[in-house]
Amino acid sequence: MNALPCPVFLFSMDSDQFWAAPTTTGGLKAYYQAYGKHTSQYQLELIHFRDSDAVAAWQSQWHNTVLPMLKSALDAGQRPVVGFSMYTWNAAEFLSLIHQIKVACPEVLCIAGGPHVQQAEDYLFEDPIDLIILGEGETTFQEILDTPLGNPWTDVKGLAFLENGEIVKTPERQRRTLLDELPSALDVIDLVDADGNCLYDSISYETSRGCPFKCAFCEWGTGAIGTKMYQFSMKRVRSDWRRIVDAGIKDIWLADSNFGALKEDLEKAQYICELKAETGLPSSFATSWSKKHSPRVQDIVLLLHRNGLLPHYQLALQTLTPLALELSNRKNMGANKYEPIAKQMASEGVPIAAELIWGLPGDNLPEFERNLDQLLRTFPNLNIFAYTLLPGTEFYERRDEYKIETIPVAGYGKAKGEYVVACHTFDRDQGIEGYFLITAHILFAHGHLLPLSIRYLALQDNITTAPLLRNLLRAVCAEYQNELRDIDLSDRMVVYENRARLYTAILQNPDALYTLLRQQVFAYLDAANCKQHSDAIANIIDLDQALSPRVGGPTETEYSFNFDVISSKTALDCLSLPTPEDLSPKAQRFKIKSPGGVGTILKDPDGGGWLRGEILSPTIELQTVRIIHPNVKPQLSPQ
C-alpha cells in the first residue's frame, strides 16, 4: 500500500484580463471525487494561472516543488498525471509547459482536453501528449484514472492516442443528457481565502451545453459540444449562483452558446436580477447570446439592462456578404429586422453591438467595406474580429478546397491558431489590407478615440469610412514610428499584432494625437469633395477628444464647445444625424469626468468604451439616452 496518494495536477489558465475561478478543471476534480473508484489513491491538485507571466513564474520553480512529487510517485510504482485544459488563449504556453515536463519526467502521463486539441492529429505526432480527450471530458477523465496500470486505453471511450506510430481513436463517447448528474465545480474550488476575502473577480459558468448551429468557422456546434442543447436544472443554477454571490464574485460570464434560446433562460435572468437587488452582486452578467433575436431575448436584454447587469448585447451577424454566409452555414436576420432593433435599443441606452469577422471564405474586401459602413450606420458599437482558423472546424477541414492561406499568430505558431490572409475569394494583399482596416476601426472607433466622428461620417450618404480609417492609421504609424522603434509599423500585420502598444503610446500626448487626426480628417473630406461637413466634424472631433480615454488618475475638466453638445451627442448615440440647428454656433461649457487609467487599467483599445469620459450635466442622465431628438424615432415594441 502506498504511503502517499498519487499526484494528479490539472492545469488551467485564464484569457487576457479575465481572472476567474477554474471551473473547467474543478469540474473534472469534482466528478472524480463523486464517481471515481479509487479516490483515496489520488491527490488531485488544481494549478490555475492568471496569465502567461504566472506560467513563466511556475516554470522557474517547479523543479523544486512538483517534479520531486512526480518522481517519488514513479519510484513508488504509481502513474502520476498532468492534465491540461486547452483553449486558443493558453495553448502556446501549455504546449511549452508540456514539453518541459515530459523532458524532465518522460514517464508522467500527460492528458490534454478542451476545444483546441479536438483535431488530435495536429498534436499527437509533434507534441509529447499521451492522451487527448475527445468530447466531454468528465467521465473519460474518471475512467482514465481508474484504468489499471498496464491495461490498454482502447477500453476508454472518447480518446485519441498514438500506438505503433499510428493514431488510435476509441469509440465516441455519447454526450451526457442529464447535466445535474455532474457535481458542481464549486464543491472543490475555494472561492474565498482563510479570512473570507474573495479570490476571484469573475467566474465562467455554464447553464447549458450544446449549440444548434453548425457555423463552419466555429468549433462550438460542429465539434465536441454537439448540436443538441441540454441544460442544468434551475435548482442547480440557483444553488450555484447563490454560492457565487455569497463569495463576493463580481462578474458572472456564462459559457452558454445561445443564451435566450431556451424558455428557462428568462427565469435565469429574473433570478440573477433578484440576487442583484438583494446582495448588490453580480456587477455584470455576460454571455454569448442567441443567434436569433426573439421577443424572449429582447425581454431578457431589457431586464438585465434595467438592473444594471448588461455589459453588452451582441447580435452575432459575423458577415453580411451572401457567399460568406452560405459557406459559413449561416443565415442572418434581414436588415429590415435588425436595424429597428438596434435603433430601439440604442435609444434606450442598451449597449447593443454587432459582431463582424474579416477573413471568412466567401468574403472580399470591397464587400466587407460596404458591410462595415452599413453596420456603422446601424449599431452604436461594432466588435470586429480577424478570422483565426481553428482546429476541428469545417473550414479547417476544407482549407485546401477553399484555397485558404494562413500565417501563424505572431510568436506562437499553430498553438494560438492561424490568421487567414487569403482564400479563393480574396488574395493575400486584400487579406492583409483587411487586417489593417480592422486595426484602424479597433483603435479609432472601438477604442473610443473618434467614435462619434466616424459615426457622423458613416451616416452621410456620400462618404465611405474605410479609406478614412486607413489614412488615419497610416498617419499614426508614420508619426509614432520613432517612439516604437522595436516594431515595424510599415508592416500591416505587425501593426495589427501590436495594436495595443500603438493605442497606449498615441494616448500619451492627446493634443498632438488629435492635431494629427484633425489634419487627416479634413484632408480626406477635401479629397472626397465633402468640405461642407468640415465645420460640423470639427465640432464633433472636439467632443470626441474631450470624451476619449486618458492617461493618469480620475479627473474632472471643464471644456468649451461651440455647438449644442447635448442634442448632437443624443442624436449620434441614437444613430441619427444632428440637425443643422444642433451644430450651429452656440457657446457651451461642460465638465467632463474621466476615470483615467490608460496604460495601467486600460492596456488595449478593447476597453476604450469602458473608460471613456462622461459629461457632467445637472439636467440629463447622459449615460443612458433619455431625450427624444427630432431625428430619433425609435421602435417601442419588438418586431
At the topology level of CATH, where does 313-425 sit?
Answer: Transcription Regulator spoIIAA (3.30.750)
Q: Which amino acid is at 8?
A: V
Provide the grid cell at 258.
445561445
Structure confidence at residue 455 (pLDDT): 96
pLDDT per position as a tens digit, 288-339 = 998 888 889 999 999 999 999 998 898 888 999 999 999 999 888 776 788 8
Tracing cell 500506438 back to the chain, one arrives at: 163
Question: In whole angstroms, what is the distance from residue 252 CA to residue 231 CA?
Answer: 17
Question: What is d(CA 501, CA 36) in angstroms, rounded to the nearest whole number?
Answer: 48
pLDDT band for position 427 (cuts 50, 70, 90): very high
Encode pLDDT of 392-409 as tens digits.
789 999 999 999 999 987
- pLDDT above 90 (res 559): yes
Write phi, then psi, for 544 (nearest 5 degrees). Answer: -60, -45
pLDDT band (50, 70, 90) for residue 627: very low
Neighbours of 537 (CB within 10 A): 23
Residue 619 pLDDT > 70: no
Domain 189-310 classification at class level: alpha beta
The band of 637, judged by pLDDT with boundaries at 50, 70 and 90, is very low
Specify the pLDDT at position 209: 92
Q: What is the pLDDT of residue 316?
A: 84
The percent of residues in the chain predicted with pLDDT above 90, rounded, is 76
| 122 half-sphere exposure, CB direction, 13 A CA radius | 19
> Among candidates 500, 499, 502, 497, which has minimal Cα distance to 411?
497
Longest dimension (CA), the chain: 88
Residues 249 and 268: their CA atoms lie apart, in Å, by 18
Please enumerate in sequence order all residues whose Cβ is within 8 A of that of 598, keeping only pairs 6 or more positions apart, or say none.
Answer: 504, 507, 549, 550, 551, 552, 611
The pLDDT assigned to 46 comes to: 97
Q: What's the CA gap between 378 and 354, in Å, rounded?
A: 9
Per-residue pLDDT band for 223 (boundaries 50, 70, 90) equals low
Question: Residue 224 in contact with residue 233, Cβ under 8 Å?
Answer: no
Whole-number Å distance between alpha carbons of 326 and 319: 10
403 CB contacts (<8 Å, ≥6 apart)? 422, 423, 424
CA nearest to 627, candidates 564, 583, 556, 584 = 564
For residue 22 the three cell numbers come to: 477554474
Q: What is the pLDDT of residue 633?
A: 40
Domain residue extents for the chain: 4-167, 189-310, 313-425, 535-614
pLDDT at residue 616 greater than cutoff 70: yes
Q: What is the reported pLDDT for 16?
A: 62
In which band, very low, low, confident or very high, does the pLDDT at 60 lie, cut at 50, 70 and 90?
A: very high
How far apart CA 290 and CA 278 sit, in angstroms, is 28
Q: Supply 366's cell numbers.
A: 470591397
Helix (H), strand (E) counts: the chain: 21, 21
| Coil, helix or strand at residue 363 | coil
User: What is this structure's pTM?
Assistant: 0.86
Q: What is the C-alpha to C-alpha distance for residues 265 and 287, in angstroms, rounded to an integer?
A: 11
User: What is the rounded average pLDDT of the residues 191-220?
Assistant: 91
Query: Are the C-beta atoms of 309 and 284 separated by less than 8 Å?
Result: yes
Q: How confident is the model at residue 413 (pLDDT cuts 50, 70, 90)?
A: very low
* 108-132 residue pLDDT tens: 999 999 988 888 998 999 999 999 9
The yes-or-no answer to whether 189-310 and 313-425 have a common fold is: yes
What is the predicted pLDDT for the residue at 391? 79
DSSP state of 150: T
Checking if the pLDDT of 636 tops 50, the result is: no
465-509 pLDDT, tens digit each:
999 999 999 999 999 999 999 999 999 999 999 999 999 999 999
Q: Pick the more confident residue, 373 or 610.
A: 373
Which of 13-22, 159-168, 216-225, 611-620 comes out lowest in average pLDDT? 216-225
Look at residue 629 and tell me whether its pLDDT is greater than 80.
no
CB count, 10 Å around CB of 483? 13
pLDDT at 276 over 80: yes
Q: What fold does the segment set 4-167 form as a domain? A: Rossmann fold (3.40.50)
At 602, the pLDDT band (50, 70, 90 cuts) reads confident
What pLDDT was estimated at residue 178?
96
Paired residues of 49 in beta bridges: 13
Q: What is the mean pLDDT of the chain?
A: 91
Burial class of residue 13, CB neighbours in 10 A (0-12, 13-18, 19+):
buried
Stretch 363-379: mean pLDDT: 95
User: What is the rounded CA–CA span in Å between residue 535 and residue 531?
Assistant: 8
Look at residue 221 in the predicted model and tell me its pLDDT. 56
Cβ atoms of residues 224 and 136 within 8 Å: yes
300-310 pLDDT, tens digit each: 999 999 999 99
Q: Do the beta carbons of residue 48 and residue 13 sit within 8 Å?
A: yes
The residues with which 406 forms a beta bridge, in sequence order, are 420
